Amino acid sequence: MMKGLKSLVFLILFFVFQNVSALEVTPSIDIVIFESNAIKSASVHVRNMEDKEVLAEMSLYGEMENITNFEAQTYLFAPKETKVFNFNILMPESFEKPGDYRFYFLAREIAIDELTEFINVLTASATIYVIRVPYEGPYMAARLRSTSVSVGELVPFDLKMENFGSVPLKNINGKIEIFNSFNKSVGEIPVNEILELGEIKEIIFKWNPEENGFGDYWARATLNFEGRTVEAETEFKLGDIHVSILDYDKNIENGIINKFKLKIKSDWGNEIEGVIAVLEVYHNPFKSFKSETFKLDLWEEKNVVIYVDAENMNPGKYPAKLSLIYEGIHTEEEFELNVSTFDWTIIWIGGSIFVVVFIIGYFVIHKMGARKKNKK
């Protein structure tokens, strides 16, 4: 538990410091394929990005830090100096199970307090070393990502494939299939790739949505290799300056002011300002009610309230129209609004209970006051 917490704290500090470090460390990641009892050489380039001297400490951190011959050390970098640190990774005979095991080569800028000789860590950068213990035979993993775009733009798909097996994968074939919100296939992209032993490959594909309109979409990558299949999925949106009406009330009560509620969704990848919802009821006389003006963030779903004064509406069913007005555009939906008689029973019951409680309380207090007078 404590080890896991230390690792989490380290990673948080590493990613915070990495963005502001005076030291540049390359490579950022190095994947080393496991071989029993093998000795693997490793090199890290550390560069001082400053126009001044920088004192740094180089060390290893992580679950596998003890399988190298590297010893922690400090070094004073001249302005813009690059220094190479070489060490060996001493592979054990075996690991308990396949997978990735990590350690970090950490370069930390430090400052020594002249009074206390206490070392302050200023910034840090690191190389992530991954010891990959392959799964026996062919084995791969895949990840698919996409980005929401506007209608008419190309949709990018980022397909990442990793060979975790013990053999190269010479014939990976399959496809990325695209579906709309009704799960109907609307397009596909063929995939044909090769992954060498331990290789990670990230490829960007682009799909032209052509006549497909705004809305929610999803895609699935299906990759076949050596008689096996791996799948990965992602979701994305095609956006347009449009606001959809998702749901709304169909019933109100007469004689009162109702909270007419509706749920809407922006189908646009930017803010839409100045949106207003309008409810029109074809009652005699004609009535129209508006919400307050509001804005929608990109792809936002929002609950909106229109206050409907039905004091002079008779019970019955009336034609009605719900409109959303924004950017000079109207989204409209016609429906039948049911106006029912307000149930006053609850108010009468509540009022009666209040009166009864008030009367009982009055007599109790009056009687207690009378008793106190008699005692005197």
What is residue 362's predicted lDDT score, i.e. its pLDDT? 58
Which CATH architecture is the domain 243-340 placed in? Sandwich (2.60)
What is residue 13's predicted lDDT score, i.e. its pLDDT? 46
Of 141, 61, 67, residue with least CA distance to 99: 141
Question: For residue 229, how many other CB atoms are within 10 A of its CB?
Answer: 9
What is residue 64's predicted lDDT score, i.e. its pLDDT? 84
Q: Does domain 2-133 have CATH number 2.60.40.10?
A: yes
What is residue 227's predicted lDDT score, i.e. its pLDDT? 95
Query: Letter for the amino acid at 12?
Result: I
Q: 99: alpha, beta or left, given left = phi > 0 and alpha = psi -120 to 50?
A: left
Q: State the DSSP string of 4-22.
A: HHHHHHHHHHHHHHHTT-S
Q: Could you give the CA distance from residue 314 to residue 329 in angstroms, rounded to a whole number?
A: 33
225 membership: H or E segment, kind and range: strand 215-225
What is residue 56's predicted lDDT score, i.e. its pLDDT? 94
What is residue 63's predicted lDDT score, i.e. its pLDDT? 81
What is residue 344's predicted lDDT score, i.e. its pLDDT? 56
151 neighbors 216 (Cβ within 8 angstroms): no
Q: Give the phi and the psi of residue 30 in degrees, each rounded to 5.
A: -135, 120
What is residue 123's predicted lDDT score, i.e. its pLDDT? 79
Q: Could you give the CA distance from residue 212 to residue 264 in angstroms, rounded to a whole number?
A: 22
Q: State the DSSP string of 115-149.
A: TT--EEEEEEEEEEEEEEEPBSSS-EEEEEEE--E
What is residue 312's predicted lDDT score, i.e. its pLDDT? 87
Q: Could you give the CA distance from residue 211 to residue 244 in angstroms, rounded to a whole number?
A: 19
89 neighbors 42 (Cβ within 8 angstroms): yes
What residue segments make up the domains of the chain, in order of their start? 2-133, 140-239, 243-340
Cis check for the bond before 285: say yes or no (omega within 30 of 0): yes
Q: What is the CATH number assigned to the segment(s) 140-239?
A: 2.60.40.10
Q: Do 140-239 and 243-340 come out as alike in CATH topology?
A: yes
Long-range Cβ contact pairs of 326-333 (< 8 A, separation 24 or more)? 326/241, 326/243, 326/272, 326/273, 326/274, 326/275, 326/276, 326/296, 327/241, 327/272, 327/274, 329/241, 329/242, 331/242, 331/243, 331/244, 331/245, 333/245, 333/248
Coil, strand or helix at 205: strand
Coil, strand or helix at 256: coil
Mean pLDDT by 10 residues, the chain (376 residues): 47 48 91 94 96 94 89 95 97 93 94 58 86 94 95 95 95 97 96 94 96 93 97 95 96 95 94 96 90 95 96 92 95 96 62 61 61 56
